[in-house]
Chain A
Amino acid sequence: MRKGRAAACWWCAPAFVCSPLLVQAMVERNAPVHAVTASVADSVIVTDAWARPALKGGTGGAYMTITNQSGRTIRIVGATSTNATTTELHASSVHDGMAHMAPVPTLVITPGARVTLKPGGLHFMLFGLRKALVKGDQTLLTLRIQNGDQVVVSVAVRTQ
């Protein structure tokens, strides 16, 4: 699953449509397309995105592994989902037998680093689900990067 790349391609598509001459010029010069169109989102690789079942109107949690393949630090500053009224990044922790959660405003991923959002740790919270998350379904989550790029991630709903 390489939604980061896929999303980047969609995002860049209008640029190609609007600039056929530019594309033609690149082809003629045998230039690699991604060298010109490279965006931060293009270097964000998301794998194993999943969420557990959750009720309509309730709160869901989404997990994934995010790899920064670019040569610069990326900052994920938020996320949105058409299936949730609000989406936030949170971190769970257990202290003295008590489970707590706290919002994480920014997820910083250094060049080449990989961050895994997993049960008991970092997760995206989907508040006010418009549709229940049902095992076997998929839901879309859009990650917002500080520079304005976006990465659309398809999240599979499963129990484990």
Chain B
Amino acid sequence: MKDQRAVTLLLAFALALPLGACNREPEWRGTPIKPALVVPTLTFADSAGALIPLKNGAGDASMVFFGYTNCPDICPTTLSDWVRVKTALGEKAHRVHFVFISVDPERDTPAISQRFVAQFDPSFRGLSGDAVTTVAVQKAFAVASAKQPSASAEGYLVGHPAQTFLMDDEGRVRVSYSFGAGWDVMAADLKLLLR
């Protein structure tokens, strides 16, 4: 009886071992989000009115950033980093969607948002939703933005999240990258995910 129990335990352990190994999180170089945020599929309209769901095809990944097109510094710098990330991914680049979501829908139309990102790479996706969608997508990613009244000529500035998020093909936001984390860090993590 004792022997039988020991064999059962051993068998269970042997079976659990590879399962555990499968579930183990990769050793991300960015900052892991634990547990991962699960983002519902939100839909944006492009300038032609076509609907674009914020989701990945099987085996794909997204890098997501929230900003505004009148931002001359943090946002363009992030998009420039993404250009390097895409280059570093080589053949795997087509499996990654680089998505910029405007948090200033008042000024950024879908067309402006797309033109803004296309300056850096035409394959990048620039989205801008209505006010409700903009609030919903920020809530899903657990981020916020705020208009900053300013004496500046621009009328107002926008405080916005500074990080890039990595989202997998199940809508799970698994890793975040603070501003300046480095394009090589993002590229390394994407290679891990897309292995």
Q: Which residues of A contact B (CB under 8 A)?
A: 52-55, 58-61, 85-86, 88, 90, 92, 94, 97-103, 119-120, 123, 125-128, 159-160
Once the chains bind, are A92 and B153 in contact (CB under 8 Å)? no
A124 to B: closest C-beta gap in Å: 9
Q: Which residue of A is nearest B67, CB measured?
A: A99
Known pairs A55-B112, A88-B153, A120-B77; A100 contacts B72 (CB<8 A): no
Q: Report the bound CA distance from A98 to B145 in whole Å.
A: 8
The DSSP consensus for interface residues of chain A is: strand
With an 8 Å Cβ cutoff, the count of chain B residues facing the other chain is 35
Known pairs A53-B119, A54-B119, A94-B179; A61 contacts B160 (CB<8 A): no
Could you list 27 examples of A-B contacts with CB < 8 Å?
Answer: A58-B69, A58-B112, A59-B69, A59-B72, A85-B153, A86-B153, A88-B152, A94-B74, A97-B161, A97-B162, A98-B144, A99-B162, A100-B148, A101-B71, A101-B73, A101-B157, A103-B151, A119-B73, A119-B74, A120-B73, A123-B73, A127-B152, A127-B153, A127-B154, A128-B153, A159-B80, A159-B83
Q: Note all chain B residues with C-beta closer than 8 A to A92.
A: 73-74
B112-153 near A? 1/0 per residue, CB < 8 Å:
100110011000000000000000000000011100101111
A-B contact count (CB 8 A): 94
Once the chains bind, are A60 and B150 in contact (CB under 8 Å)? no
The DSSP consensus for interface residues of chain B is: loop
Q: Report the bound CA distance from A128 to B154 in whole Å.
A: 8
Once the chains bind, are B116 and A55 in contact (CB under 8 Å)? yes
Once the chains bind, are A98 and B120 in contact (CB under 8 Å)? no
Given A52, A98, A128, which contacts B76 in the complex, CB threshold below 8 Å? A52
Once the chains bind, are B119 and A61 in contact (CB under 8 Å)? no
Q: Note all chain B residues with C-beta closer than 8 A to A88.
A: 152-153
Q: Which residue of A is nearest B76, CB measured?
A: A52
| B70 CB-CB contact with A under 8 Å | yes
